[in-house]
Structure 1
Amino acid sequence: MSDDHEPDAAAEAFEGVRGELALLRRAVERLSAERAEVPEIPDYSETLGKMAKALNATMQNVGVLAKTAEDNVAPRYVADRIVAAGGHARDEDRRMIATAGEKMDKATTALHGIGGSARRADEQRRTLWQVGAGACLGGALLWTIVPGIIARELPGKWQVPEWMAARTLDLPKWEAGQRLMRAAGPDAFANIAAADRIITANRKAVQACYKIAVRTKKTVRCTIEISRDDVAARSAIVSSTD
């Protein structure tokens, strides 16, 4: 009596397994569909597809096993088929894991290569900046030294140094000269400026005295006029008495 019920129990068990596998397959298909709707999630479509195929194959094997159970096939044969199906599934899983590992290794190697290339590019850019800065500094120093050497070797009547000084100060030669004298000796320049103003203010008297000195060939005294408001003359006198 118990032997008659064994095929029915096995068939019912396999039917239960088949139903659970069908639910699992529909869940995998649903995951694949949801992955297509949400692009931000990593792409597992290929893996989910392989899982669905494996579930279909397992369901077919379960169907075969259920048929064998209905045909009163020996339990040993059913066990061997289950073990073989499990081994095949494990082999497929191992192949999938190995493939994923190879892809991960390739991606890691590529990332290391990108990082090394970026570091090398940064080093090259830094070296170029250093070389460029050194070249600019060297060129600036050379430009400040060489023109002066060349200008001093040229004929004096060309007045190249004076012209370069005026161009450097961005002033006419006369004003550039005054600025240079004022910077070199402020008191001496003040005396020169005061004397120039006094001579300019007493030009006629100075010219008359000069003519007398030439005619008599003697040193003569000249009378000149200086205003108390002449700031230039006052500054020159005060600076000389100090």
Structure 2
Amino acid sequence: MADGDTEDEAARAFESLRAEVSLMRRAVERLAAERAESSHAPDYSETLGVISQNLSATAQRVDALVKSPALSLTPEETSRQIGAASFDARREDHRLFLVAKQGIDEVATRLRHQLESHVMAAEQRRRLWQVGLACLAVGMSLWAILAGPIALAMPESWHWPERMAARTLAMPMWEGGQRLMRAASPESFAGIVAPSLNRETG
């Protein structure tokens, strides 16, 4: 059955219903008039008036229903509108999903940058320690190798070798010299010290 036939049948059915309601309303009104003219019959005018009002209200509702735009829609049009509403809802959901994904991507990017900065800072600190230790080792090696020749190259009146020896022993130069002589030759040192002890005892 075609959609136009379905729409026509619905319109005809509502038109028939409206005609029947109108006919029933006129019959009730006529019956009420006849009852009013008869003096022997009970007075049903109030009841019939209520019925008439109800029928009028029903007729108005039927008219509004017949004129409703929803009845003029074909199944295809209804399906199209449902599809359009569904598409709009899905599009909004997709937009919200993209917004949420963009926010998550931004947070992940910031976290990655912070992690990379932290890793780079740790790597820089590690390399700085390595360079510092290497420089310290090179400096100590150069000092051990070059300190002696540099001290010997200075003028003799500066006494750099002697001062370096005393500083190494953490003693004054006189006591440091005695210790060096005793360590170099205990017998010779004893021979030097013995006359001085004899003079002090004598």
Q: Partner amino acid for 1:85?
A: A
- Whole-angstrom CA distance in 2 between matches of 1:70 and 1:113: 65
CA-CA distance at 1:185 after TM superposition:
4.7
Matches within 5 A, 1:69-218: 71=68, 73=71, 74=73, 76=75, 77-185=77-185, 189=189, 192-202=192-202
- Whole-angstrom CA distance in 1 between matches of 2:101 and 2:92: 14
Deviations along 1:8-66, whole A, 9 cap, x unmatched? xxxxxxxxxxxxxxxxxxxxxxxxxxxxxxxxxxxxxxxxxxxxxxxxxxxxxxxxxxx
Gaps of 5+ in 1: 5-66, 203-242
CA-CA distance at 1:196 after TM superposition:
3.5
CA-CA distance at 1:142 after TM superposition:
2.3
Q: Partner amino acid for 2:142?
A: L
Q: Secondary structure at the match of 1:171?
A: coil
More helix by percentage? 2
CA-CA distance at 1:195 after TM superposition:
5.0
C-alpha spacing 1:69/1:81, structure 2 compared with 1 (3 Å): farther
8 Å CA contact retained: 1:148, 1:161: yes
8 Å CA contact retained: 1:68, 1:78: no
Structure-1-length-normalised TM-score: 0.45
Q: How many residues align?
A: 139
Of all paired residues, the percent bearing the same amino acid is 41
Gaps of 5+ in 2: 1-12, 15-63
Find runs of 4+ consecutive structure 1 residues off by over 6 angstroms. 67-70
Aligned to 1:236: none
8 Å CA contact retained: 1:182, 1:189: yes
Q: Which has the larger radius of gyration?
A: 2
Structure-2-length-normalised TM-score: 0.53
